[in-house]
Amino acid sequence: AQSVTQLGSHVSVSEGALVLLRCNYSSSVPPYLFWYVQYPNQGLQLLLKYTSAATLVKGINGFEAEFKKSETSFHLTKPSAHMSDAAEYFCAVTRTGGGNKLTFGTGTQLKVEL
Amino acid sequence: EAGVTQFPSHSVIEKGQTVTLRCDPISGHDNLYWYRRVMGKEIKFLLHFVKESKQDESGMPNNRFLAERTGGTYSTLKVQPAELEDSGVYFCASSQDGLYNEQFFGPGTRLTVL
């Protein structure tokens, strides 16, 4: 069985500050990990994915995430927050042979303040 | 190219009534997924179609839920009879064939059962 834990249901940062959204996973087989973002009244949009290639993954809008097997983590970071980054972020995991169905965390609402 | 569309965007029904949600995937996407998010909780997988066949329906809550995908194009998810605990946001996603291909999500249908 797989699971994802996102620490912090709400995170608030100042514009220009570092964004760090935490994700820890549990998987009995090598995982494949994703970060999605949901802006208000829109569907989920893929930010980035890890599929066993490079452990540091770069995504859209300046986001990146690092896969750390020893820590079972896949934290999302962005060096400098922008007001437009305010949204809800979801970490998800899937596995080989799982039909690509995603197991999601509970989401983190990011607020960016002036 | 049009994205994944879902109809209706909102539905408010009484307990015991029937509701049908529709999803139109991106043209050419053989894979279609349904997910649900109950308020405050994680997004959970419901089922996966490959063309018109149900590949995995392990996440369907009970037999009050019926999903179809006639002709391998659009899909419907019927809830009959609806219960209070069925309230939530129902997301549809589609993807091309292949491992870990991006799932493109629709904006969701918010279902409220009173």
Per-residue model confidence as pLDDT tens digits over B70-100:
888 999 999 999 999 999 999 999 998 776 7
Regions of chain B short of the pLDDT cut 50: none
Token output for B71: 């002709």
Q: What was the pLDDT predicted at B43?
A: 96
Considering only CB atoms, which chain A residues are within 8 Å of B103? 46, 100, 102
Kindly report the backbone phi and psi dihedral angles of residue B16, in degrees, each rounded to the nearest multiple of 5, phi listed first. Answer: 95, -15
Q: With beta carbons less than 8 A apart as the criterion, state whether A22 and A113 touch.
A: no
Residue A99's pLDDT is 67
Token match 């194009």: residue?
Answer: B73
pLDDT of residue A96: 65
Residue of A2, A41, A101 for testing the chain B interface, max B β-carbons within 10 Å: A101
Closest-CA distance, A10 to chain B, in angstroms, reads: 12
Quickly state the pLDDT bin for A13 (edges 50, 70, 90).
very high
Give the residue among B33, B14, B25 at the shortest CA–CA distance from B79: B14
- How many contacts, defined by CB atoms under 8 Å, are there between A and B? 60
pLDDT digits (tens, 9 = 90+) for A14-58: 999 999 999 999 987 778 899 999 998 888 999 999 987 788 999
Give pLDDT, residue A22.
Answer: 97
Rg (CA), chain A: 13
Task: Indicate the Cα dihedral angle B90, A13, A18, A23, nearest 10°.
Answer: -40
Q: Residue B30: which H helix or E strand, with range?
A: none
